[in-house]
Amino acid sequence: MSAERWVIKIGSALLTNDGRGLDRELMQVWVDRMVALRAAGIEPIVVSSGAVAEGMTRLGWSRRPESVHEQQAAAAVGQMGLVQAWETCFRKHGLHTAQVLLTHDDLSDRKRYLNARSTLLTLLGFAVVPVVNENDTVVTDEIRFGDNDTLAALVANLVEAERLVILTDQEGLFNADPRQNPDAELIREARASDPAIAAMAGGGGSGLGRGGMATKVRAAGLAARSGAMTTIASGRRPEVLAELCDGRAPGTTLMPDTSPMNARKQWLAGHLRMRGRLVLDAGAARRLREAGSSLLPVGVVDVFGQFSRGEMVACEDEQGVRVACGLVNYDAADARRLCRKKSHEIADVLGFMNEEELIHRDNLVVLDRG
């Protein structure tokens, strides 16, 4: 029986005790609980905020810098202490940790996405606990995830986790702001796709991190695309992990709507950035819209952009309406040469044939059904 996987995200305010340096005692308590999860057959993957906040503490800064370069510098300084703290805590149980730093490009490029997935799964196979963080030392505003809630959701997609746990300084999601309304009620369970949930989440967050409750609800929507449920709960109570393991429901749990296979396609449609465009004739656009067929080169009239095999491209009709998107089987130069060619001509045109389709239907998501 394969182990269940949980992605556990812990925010900056918790890790750094509201900015007063890493709370190593609380980190040890969380680690003790995660080791108990492992004993119960659950593989934890930690998504750890706190690098910038720890760097700020070490550098004597009281406010998060606005400059990207200063944030990167703080992350470089803070990452040292953050990783060392996690390793020290897990080593008390005889376990190793591994630092995994990711950027958006790592998950939008198909080859790097597969490499990241293989690395994480291999680490789990070696009984190593991955500690994942955004690579703040190299990211720019154009490619950053924006918050570690989003990163945690994408990691849940990456490893096909059963549950995403977001530990925060709040008890969960309430139907009103509990700081202003004493009658506010905690929402115990809802659908991640429910628009009313997003409306309740609002905005805001601590000055240390980039995310508020709204980012956590959006993260739950992303995690749901690969079939994962999301629990948002208070990290001030480390026993929530044991409660979840026992089948209890602390905090707020947001459930996925769809099966993982269908959800995977939703994730492909909503997350990966388009690297190019394929323009389809009317017949090909109709077949995709009506039958969800594979895209054959004979139905493609033009190719735009520079992309490699395995990257995400948009499929548009001749009026510029995006019909679908998918992972392409040929790079841009080869795809241009294959425009309007029949599948049996591919080898003659290119001298080789990867696949009969430009995009196989298993790797294609229809966005517009006309």
- Are 322 and 179 members of one domain? no
- 168 burial via Cβ count (<10 Å: 0-12, 13-18, 19+): buried
pLDDT digits (tens, 9 = 90+) for 201-252: 764 444 334 447 888 998 998 888 888 999 999 988 889 999 999 988 899 9
- Are 294 and 228 members of one domain? no
Among 204, 239, 267, where does a domain finish? 267
Paired with 105 in beta bridges are none
pLDDT digits (tens, 9 = 90+) for 275-308: 899 999 999 999 999 988 999 999 999 999 999 9
Q: And the tokens for 274? A: 């388009």
Query: Alpha-carbon distance 183 to 340, whole Å?
Result: 64
- Are 297 and 247 members of one domain? no
Q: Determine the pLDDT at residue 205.
A: 46
- Are 291 and 224 members of one domain? no
- Are 262 and 120 members of one domain? yes
Among 267, 294, 327, where does a domain finish? 267
AA identity, residue 17:
N
- Are 118 and 256 members of one domain? yes
Distances (CA, A) of 101 to 131, 137, 139, 153: 8, 10, 11, 15
- Are 172 and 305 members of one domain? no
**CATH code assigned at 285:** 2.30.130.10
Looking at the 3D structure of the chain, how many domains does it have? 2
Sign, CA dihedral 240-241-245-250, equals: positive
pTM: 0.75
- Are 224 and 330 members of one domain? no
- Are 145 and 241 members of one domain? yes
Q: Say if residues 191 and 200 touch (Cβ distance below 8 Å).
A: no
* Whole-number percent of the chain with pLDDT over 70: 88
**CATH code assigned at 107:** 3.40.1160.10
What domain range includes position 296?
274-366
pLDDT digits (tens, 9 = 90+) for 21-56: 789 999 999 999 999 999 999 999 999 988 888 888
- Are 207 and 75 members of one domain? yes
- Are 58 and 197 members of one domain? yes
Among 267, 284, 307, where does a domain finish? 267
- pLDDT class of 18 with cuts at 50, 70, 90: low
Closest of 71, 95, 196 to residue 146, by C-alpha: 71
Distances (CA, A) of 276 to 21, 296, 322, 348: 45, 17, 12, 25
- Are 118 and 150 members of one domain? yes
Q: Determine the pLDDT at residue 318.
A: 95
Estimate the crossing angle of helix 51-59 against helix 68-91, to 10 degrees.
100
